[in-house]
């Protein structure tokens, strides 16, 4: 599937599953109006992908059929999960990350389940250890990506740091996601807080705004519609995405494989993201949901993650594909914030960012 076909298919799935999500709301947990006992419903974001082989493996191993409901970008998905807490749209939610995790936990979105296979996951990734309401599933570094050809044609070196993004040389070149609706957008905002501190991040965003930063609602719009380095239709050669995004352009690009990916990563702009899955409180099929979470932490699913969702698996015994390591970028020292700081200040930071940038 080429990039255009993949993007179109995702858009169609999103439009179809949006109606399914609305119909699922209020279906209750008695099993009569919800999913059958042999069906497990996964609520996730639009970027979730799973190979046909692994999907079939799940059914073979567990006896359950997987139904996938895509709920938009990660921020939108979490908002919907909070609104339907206790009366969920499915059995398992995949894709809540460390930027929004505390909100979902505080609102009672998840039920406890200690997944099989956690002994192969580094302890520092297990942010809910002891209560086990969520299970870490993948790691990604949210970074600015750049269009190599655009910068070569312009005879301009691509920016590598947050400070450089605000330089007049890069005016009107950057597109970012809305921090109130998109998890990459929120992660990028938190990265600027980590970099410039409580007293400096607002000034930084004022500089970005004056430098012509464009804000859109979600990752797909930013990457596939606004960014010049993916579809080629956008007019912005800088976009907030992931350190592991360049392999996407190789895997779904033209043969033969190039010497380097057509997109690069501004390595001094990155913020570490951890994604989790959790059993939804009030799920119609909790036993099936537990089986799905255990399967997601199995080698079969974890080995599928790099070339399906282009992020790193959390298991420490999974070998990464050569194309993923060759064209992706390993970020040794990403920006990060302590979970308690995110919990305490996230809402205020997002509100202040909205007042500064979304006018």
Model confidence over 260-272: pLDDT tens digits? Answer: 999 999 999 999 9
88-110: pLDDT as tens digits: 999 999 999 998 899 999 999 99
**pLDDT band for position 16 (cuts 50, 70, 90):** very low
**Res. 11: pLDDT tops 50:** no
Does 171 score more than 70 pLDDT?
yes
**What whole-number distance in Å separates Cα of residue 243 and Cα of residue 221?**
18
**Between these two residues, 12 and 167, which has the higher pLDDT value?**
167
pLDDT at position 10 over 80: no
Q: Specify whether the CB–CB gap between 229 and 253 falls below 8 A.
A: no
Look at residue 21 in the predicted model and tell me its pLDDT. Answer: 37
Q: Give residue 12's pLDDT.
A: 31
Superfamily of domain 3-138+274-322: Periplasmic binding protein-like II (3.40.190.10)
What is the percent of the chain with per-residue pLDDT over 90, rounded to a whole number?
Answer: 78
Same fold, 3-138+274-322 and 141-272+330-357: yes
> For the chain, how are helix, strand and coil distributed in percent, rounded to 5?
40, 20, 40
Q: What is the mean pLDDT of residues 63-71?
A: 95
Within 10 angstroms of residue 358's Cβ, the number of other Cβ atoms is 11
Helix, strand, or coil (residue 155): coil
CATH of the structural domain 141-272+330-357, one choice from 3.40.50.1220, 3.40.470.10, 3.40.190.10, 1.10.3720.10: 3.40.190.10
pLDDT digits (tens, 9 = 90+) for 106-121: 999 999 999 999 999 9
Q: How confident is the model at residue 254, as a pLDDT?
A: 64
Q: Across the chain, what does the average pLDDT equal?
A: 88
Whether the bond between 283 and the residue before it is cis, its omega within 30 degrees of 0, is no
From the centroid of its chain, how far is CA 110?
19
The domain segmentation of the chain, as residue ranges, is 3-138+274-322, 141-272+330-357
How is residue 358 annotated by DSSP? -
Spatial separation of the C-alpha atoms in residues 137 and 349, rounded to whole Å: 26
* In contact, 329 and 270? CB cutoff 8 Å: no
Predicted pLDDT of residue 155: 98
pLDDT (mean) for 332-349:
91
For residue 71, give Cα distances in angstroms to 36, 57, 86.
21, 24, 17
Helix (H) or strand (E) holding 312: strand 312-313
Which one is predicted more confidently, 153 or 5? Answer: 153
Compute, in degrees rounded to 10, the torsion defined by CA atoms 36, 37, 43, 47: -90
More confident call, 42 vs 4: 42
Are 296 and 93 a contacting pair, CB within 8 Å?
no
């Amino acid at each position: 599937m080429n990039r255009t076909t993949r993007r179109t298919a995702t858009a169609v799935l999103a439009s179809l599953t949006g109606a399914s999500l609305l119909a699922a709301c209020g279906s209750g947990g008695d099993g009569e109006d919800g999913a059958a006992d042999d069906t497990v419903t996964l609520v996730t974001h639009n970027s979730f992908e799973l190979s046909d082989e692994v999907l079939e493996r799940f059914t073979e191993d567990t006896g359950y059929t997987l139904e996938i409901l895509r709920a938009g970008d990660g921020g939108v998905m979490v908002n919907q999960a909070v609104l339907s807490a206790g009366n969920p749209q499915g059995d398992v939610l995949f894709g809540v990350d460390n930027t929004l995790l505390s909100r979902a936990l505080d609102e009672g979105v998840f039920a406890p389940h200690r997944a099989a296979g956690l002994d192969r996951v580094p302890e520092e990734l297990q942010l809910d250890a002891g209560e086990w309401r969520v299970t870490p599933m993948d790691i990604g570094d949210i970074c600015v990506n750049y269009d190599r050809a655009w910068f070569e044609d312009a005879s301009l070196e691509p920016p590598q740091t947050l400070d450089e993004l605000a330089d007049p040389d890069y005016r009107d070149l950057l597109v970012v996601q809305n921090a109130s609706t998109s998890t990459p957008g929120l992660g990028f905002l938190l990265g600027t807080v980590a970099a410039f501190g409580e007293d400096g991040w607002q000034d930084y965003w004022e500089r970005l705004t004056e430098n012509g930063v464009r804000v859109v609602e979600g990752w797909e719009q930013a990457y596939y519609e606004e960014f010049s380095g993916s579809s080629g239709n956008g007019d912005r050669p800088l976009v907030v995405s992931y350190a592991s995004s360049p392999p996407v352009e190789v895997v779904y690009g033209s043969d033969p494989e190039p010497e380097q990916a057509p997109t690069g990563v501004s390595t001094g702009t990155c913020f570490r993201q951890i994604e989790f899955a959790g059993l939804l409180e009030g799920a119609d099929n909790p036993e099936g949901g537990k089986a799905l979470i255990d399967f997601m932490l199995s080698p079969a699913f974890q080995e599928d993650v790099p070339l399906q969702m282009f992020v790193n698996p959390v298991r420490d015994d999974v070998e990464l594909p050569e194309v993923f390591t060759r064209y992706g970028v390993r970020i040794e020292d990403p920006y990060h914030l302590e979970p308690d700081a995110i919990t305490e200040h996230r809402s205020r930071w997002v509100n202040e960012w909205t007042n500064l940038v979304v006018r």
